[in-house]
Amino acid sequence: MNRRYRKTIIAGNWKMNMTATEGKALIEAIKPSIGKVKWCDVVVCVPAVDIPMAVRSTKDVRITVGAENVHYEDHGAFTGEISARMLKDAGVKYVIIGHSERRQYFGETDTTVNKKVKAVLEAGLHPIVCVGESLEQREMGITKDLISMQVRAAISEVPADKIRRMVFAYEPIWAIGTGKTATAEQANEVCEHIRTIIRKEFGARTARAVTIQYGGSMNAKNAAELLAQPDVDGGLIGGASLKPDDFIAIVNAANQE
């Protein structure tokens, strides 16, 4: 973390796990502890049908609501899809884009990620762009090349003044939902690499203002060590965001002055 230059953001990614009723109970459980945090921003990214509940339930506390996906068109004949304009109107502030599960199961590509990033920024929201390598790619030694490709594609044609509104999440696929976490050094190395790419494209000031999270089995036990790394500015939390005590512990690890 480096709070002098950028925000620390802990974001829960509920995935397809909570009905609105269950989600409301979860938010009520974390609210008393998390609603008062000062040194980091807390986001809950929730299934689309939970958004109205989440926005209502977090009205009086410092918890922000995010979506887990978006369509890149503004409106039109795209049955089943939701645009950035709709998310904004519903009270959403952040949108996860390019999660590896969407890349793997729903045909998300670097091209659609880029279109979604532009649409989300255009709507005035913050994209959380996920990048990360598979175990095979890591073992082949191509992690950094792959991350460079994913990041460059995501920011293609994005105006320089909008880059600071972006959040990146380094999520090694082999660490997602597996209980295997990248070591703090591995996490920092790739987060630093992402910042270097942004520095090359947009200069040092912009690069140091961008929040870069780590995601992949971050939990109550390993959060402090990961967050102590200079280029790890928070976490995108799946499994542990569904357990109130674990999520609170991770937020507390980030909420250091």
- Active site residue ranges: 99, 171
Angle subtended by helix axes 20-34 and 244-254, to nearest 10 = 40
- Please give the DSSP secondary-structure letter assigned to residue 44: E
Q: What is the DSSP letter of 174?
A: G
CB–CB of 226/184 below 8 Å? yes
| 230 touches ligand PGA by CB under 6 A | no
Site for ligand PGA in 158-197 (CB under 6 A): 171, 176-177
Based on the shown chain and the rule CB under 6 A, indicate whether residue 236 belongs to the binding site for ligand PGA. Answer: yes
43 touching ligand PGA, by CB under 6 A: no
Return the structure tokens found at 13.
């990614």
- Find the DSSP H helices in the chain: 20-34, 51-57, 84-90, 100-105, 110-122, 135-139, 143-155, 160-163, 184-202, 204-209, 223-227, 244-254
- Tell the smallest beta-carbon distance from residue 8 to ligand PGA (Å): 17
CB of 155 or CB of 176, closer to ligand PGA: 176
State the Rg of the chain over Cα: 17
Stretch that binds ligand PGA, among 23-31, 134-142, 153-161, 216-224 (CB under 6 A): 216-224
Judged by CB under 6 A, the stretch of 2-10, 64-72, 105-113, 213-221 that binds ligand PGA is: 213-221
The terminus-to-terminus CA distance of the chain in angstroms comes to 11
Site string for ligand PGA, 118-157 (x = CB under 6 A): ----------------------------------------
Stretch that binds ligand PGA, among 32-40, 192-200, 230-238, 246-254 (CB under 6 A): 230-238
Beta carbon of residue 235, minimum distance to ligand PGA (angstroms, whole number): 8
Distance CA 2, CA 33 (A): 23
Q: CB–CB of 237/247 below 8 Å?
A: yes
Asked if 70 interacts with ligand PGA (CB under 6 A), we say no
List contacts with ligand PGA (CB under 6 A).
13, 171, 176-177, 215-218, 236-240
